Structure 1
Amino acid sequence: MKDKKTILMIANSETASNGFLSFAERLKGREEIGLVLICHPRVRIDVVKEKSRKLDDVHVEILDFDEEERRAGDKRVKQEYHYVKDRLYVSIIKAVYNTIKTTAHNFRGLKRAKFIMRQNKPNMILLYDDNRLEFEKYFVYYAKKWGIQTIVAPICMADIEGILINPSNGFRIKKGDKLPITARIIKYINPQIDREYRDEIVFFGQPFLNIIDYLMGFRVPNPWVQGSLADIVCTAYQEQYDETVRELGRENTEGRLFLTESVEDGIIIGGYQNRKSLKNELYGKYSLCGKTTVIIAFSERVQKWSKENDLSNKGIIVRSVLEYYDEVLVSLHPKSDVEENRFLEDYDGCHIVDEPLRNIIGAADLIIYADMSSIARWVEWLQIHKVTYLSYSMQEKWTDDMIREFKKELADSVEMVKEEKRPELKRGIDFVEFVLERL
């Protein structure tokens, strides 16, 4: 097609790939638009391809950014640089080695991004984020060079508190401890690279790698929020919009920062507006008999948390719900291993759904989720009855007191769900239309 336009979508996580597939689903039947999804090696590309095949009348070309790195798998992850205090001569040797390795890795990434962009000739690039300096930096580099518009899509923007509270994020050192020389250098180069949190100083990323990126031209003035690199940033959250303005300044966000619906909102609205038929589809597929549609939306397990505790607590949550409701649908986080959670279906009345949460949440009468989950916005928007539990309670096995409190909330919910609430949904700026206007 002569006037066909191409959008590149850069997915550095399972959440990103799911968000971009939602975007693609909204462009059903639009043959004049070509969609190319580039997946980071940690994204399960086979899963993404399978999901894309299930989209009716939607074609998305899915590319693996780095097959060699994907084959290396965990071996590559274990070799990634992390600061360790050593003798001076050992530190010098490590610095030389890691400089060569990181520089070579960046040049290789630039070469691959250049090849992909020349092959696909994109008119626009959609990003999951622009602050982490992962493989999206290579596409942003050429986009700026060649005048291609870049937009951060409203998929899932972590707030600063959420970044700081996760112990697996960034380089951390106790207040009062002497900073390593690399930390002092990057702090001098970019005073906004670190934040104080409780009894720690937290650097966004590993200082040594930040220095190499800075020297190679990959610079993020303020990595704690989106907006340092992309031309346009869209968010569906008022709090994050306000936080970004505070961090970057109104002069740097004017005309670049927009409050829109999320990439998934259009699909959610479709399900909500066809709630009755959606319920019937779920009842037929999962052989449901009860009148109340209950969904548990489990969040991603934080990397450093105990797998045993997490799965144990999930079992407690499901069993507790089934004491008050005949059936429950379990929606797992996109990063979750379905097979390790399959034991939940051993409880009579529990069904793990295949559909993404966005496709079925419109049918929910009651939803159960962790209090810090990003789905809270959807729940509030649709005014669904809810029961929440503390996100960070999943790292330890639930105590008897915690179980009692959770069951009390479930007992209270039984009367609440009898009240039919069908609010008129307030619409914001449709992100898909926002993109098409600028394509």
Structure 2
Amino acid sequence: MTKVAAEYGVTSTALKKTCNRHKIPTPERGYWAKLGHDKPVRQVSLPMLTDTRLDQVHISGVTAQHLPEQVIKAGTEARERLMTASEPLAATGLTSSRVEEPPILGATQRAISKARPDAEGFINAQGRGIVSTKIAPTTVDRTHQLLARLFVLAETEGYRPKVSENGLELAADDVSIAFGIEERPCKTPHEPTAAELKRRDDNLRYGLSRAPWPKYDYSPSGRLSIVIHANSWSGLRRTWSDGKTQKVEAMLPEIIAGLVEHGALLRERRRATEESERKRLEAEARRKREEAFNSREKRRLGFVDAVHEQLLERSKLSAVLAHLDQPAIDGKNPAENILAWIRRRIQQIDALTSPEFLDLSARSAKLGFVEPPKDSDSEYAGGYYAYPSSPRLQFWSIDEEKELATPTGPLEWAIHAGLLPSSEGSPAKDETAEAAPPPQR
């Protein structure tokens, strides 16, 4: 029954009820255990069908096809283990014996004993280390025994009670599942009292037609149910209740198997979440690495553009120098001052674009032309303050003894290189103010 029910996405109890409605005999409890011990069993034949409406069987269960394979496998294996363990007990009648209640239920017992029934007659208990319960005072003892049996059977599958801030949960090594016990209310039509009828008549005089009393009254029914508070809308069963002929105690193996399924689904969802987070982090790392690479390439190109701009200027200056550097008739060149400046400017450009100065300028701007290790790419994701906006070429004053290079300005470098006189001496002829314009004819 368990194996066939899993194929249709229903519980063995639901399949049993379906078989009963369609007059299909099923093995009695303990059938397989007796058969395995060579004890006599009763095998009922399929009866003749007289009602043609029962000719076809429709099973509308929540399909488990969309569930992960690990969840289906965990539930099937748990059901096989639990049914094997419970069938000998069912055959010997040991399941009716009283179970010792574990000490961890003490907080739940105290909370239930102190609680007062509400208007509908239910006791509500919840809090730290307390099983969430909503029961009537008449079912308190049965609730304690049901919890004790549940804990004993759950321990066979590795689930033990665990205290949490919101209640008492069943937990394995890596998952924790909240649950509760509720008593199904009995719904009966409300009989209005004389005061309610008078209030209705008063309301009618003011144009209010709605009846001032509830449509139904709710009271304890004695029908207990176990509810698992996990994996909503997952397709897994979350509630097991007393039926007309079967109590929830007889469903404990199926409940524990459902608990195992919920635990497997929680693990699978956590694994999927961790995998999704891992992929997200990898994608984020790739994005940052690409952004850092693009930023480095942009700054490198900016540095190369600055060098190229200086080389273009040198080419322009060289062309002008070749044009002006012509021997005069009297041996004097009127553009000698211009030629001197062009030569000095070319020397500055040669120094500025020399390999030594370029290396110092690049290192000063923290500009590397070798790709850094992969792990260090995430340190820079682009920003206003990580690096200067654009690297620039600089002049340097190098102290060979101290092995120290200090950035300096063009004027200071030219003076240090001997291209210009120092400020202490008299200015050179080509450094004076503009010459007077030639006389007009």
What range is the shorter-chain TM-score in?
A: under 0.3
Q: Which has the higher contact order (CA 8 A, sep 6+)?
A: 1
- TM-score, scaled to structure 2: 0.17
- TM-score, scaled to structure 1: 0.17
